[in-house]
Structure 1
Amino acid sequence: MNRPADDDDRWIRRFHPRPDAAVRLVCLPHAGGSASYFLPVSRAMPPSVDVLCVQYPGRQDRRAEPLVDNVPDLADQVLAALLPWTDRPLAFFGHSLGATLAFEVARRLERQKGLVAAGLFASGRRAPSTHRVETVHLRDDDGLIADIRELSGTDDRLLGDEEILRMILPATRADYRAAETYAYEPGEALRCPLSALVGDDDPKVTVDEAAAWADHTEGPFDLRVFPGGHFYLADHQAAVIEAVTARLTAR
């Protein structure tokens, strides 16, 4: 295939290229997260799965770029960046905000391009059709940091470093705003297999809210519940990778 344009390279990190893979797994991070969060996933995947990790604007090497603080615009831009990679089937793994974003990108891929995803893995996020009123993005910096600490999604050593905090808080706040202001627009269900993964003690999503993902696909659905909170996958990385690999390599 032709190499994607440089503009698309800003969005996609391909840490371990697998040019002969049958399917590509697109990984979309949580609020405040970056593509490198999925480095262990990329490393662990078999040769049959090529991992593409999405880098949102406003962090790490993209920190000087304008932030995108809403899911529809972010989904449109991620889809555009992924189009050069559609010579192979695309599957999606998204955690928290990334799960909602993965759903919207898969929706656009199917509606606009007629391409059905090879699978959607929605981790640590309630189904789009469920709703909560959340306003963490409106808190001051201390309030935002308190929520990040509660979820244990960022190393406390980083949260104690003022310089790093100044770098990550604007992007994190924009991501929170995107997640918390997302409004689901009803429409046809996806046709791809869909797996929901959730921690049994996640303050951001109940098991019932995760189970509601079943309403968003006409394809096979399964629900995996793990011990733990919002970042349950830190303690169950091997099991999560095994579940994803089994689904993708069974095609």
Structure 2
Amino acid sequence: MPAESARIGRDWLRRIGERANPGAVRLFYFPYASIGAAAYRDWGAALLAEAEAHAVQLPGREDRLFARPFCEMGELPDALVPDLLAALDRPFAFFGHSMGAIICWELSRRLKSEQQIEPMRIFVSGCRACSSSRVVHSLINRTRDDIVRRLGHGLKAE
């Protein structure tokens, strides 16, 4: 693991795959309730070369089993933002499933209001977007590899 990756959000982030591309868009995966970053361990291989993937490891999961979990959603961005900022030095996007969708949405709001930065894309599944009831792309009945490919294509500049 390169030194840069070891420094970036060591407690919170787990790199997915071996790809370290200094110019790549960083894609951060936020897991659903009661699951850890390992749920996304196989998702890196199907991404485009232009993307570098990291999964967020929440407290109380896997190798952070004994870290104090959060009981209030508002506390999570407060703790996550300082460690995550070092990884937001290039374009980035968030993907969250179910509770992870809510976390990435709230984190995006916090980053925009307090740091004046925001993800180039927010992908949500298992949860409607907080600001809309409109479904942009349906991923129902798609394979995991197809979903990951679609995420990668969504990272390309318009």
Please tell me the TM-score bracket, short chain as reference: 0.7 to 0.9
Other-structure match for 2:111: 109
Matched, 1:244 2:151: yes
More helix by share: 1
* CA apart distance, 1:4: 6.6
* CA apart distance, 1:5: 7.5
- After TM superposition, the score normalised by the length of structure 1 is 0.56
Identity of counterpart residues, as a percentage?
30
What SS does structure 2 have at the residue aligned with 1:27?
strand
CA distance in 1, matches of 2:82, 2:26: 16
Q: Which has the larger radius of gyration?
A: 1
Cα deviations by residue, 1:90-116 (Å, 9 ceiling, x for unpaired): 100000000000001111111111112
Tell which has more relative contact order, 1 or 2 (C-alpha 8 A, sep 6+).
Answer: 2
Assess if the C-alpha contact under 8 Å between 2:29 and 2:94 holds in 1: yes
Gaps of 5+ in 2: none
What SS does structure 1 have at the residue aligned with 2:83?
helix
- After TM superposition, the score normalised by the length of structure 2 is 0.86
- For 2:4, give the aligned amino acid: R
Other-structure match for 1:93: 95
**Aligned residue runs from structure 1 range 179-218, under 5 A:** 212=133, 214=134
Gaps of 5+ in 1: 130-210, 215-220, 228-234
Other-structure match for 2:12: 11
Other-structure match for 1:126: 128
Aligned length: 156
Task: Provide the aligned C-alpha RMSD in A.
Answer: 2.4
| CA shift in 2, pair 1:225/1:45, >3 Å | closer
What SS does structure 1 have at the residue aligned with 2:138?
strand
* CA apart distance, 1:58: 0.8
Assess if the C-alpha contact under 8 Å between 2:59 and 2:70 holds in 1: yes
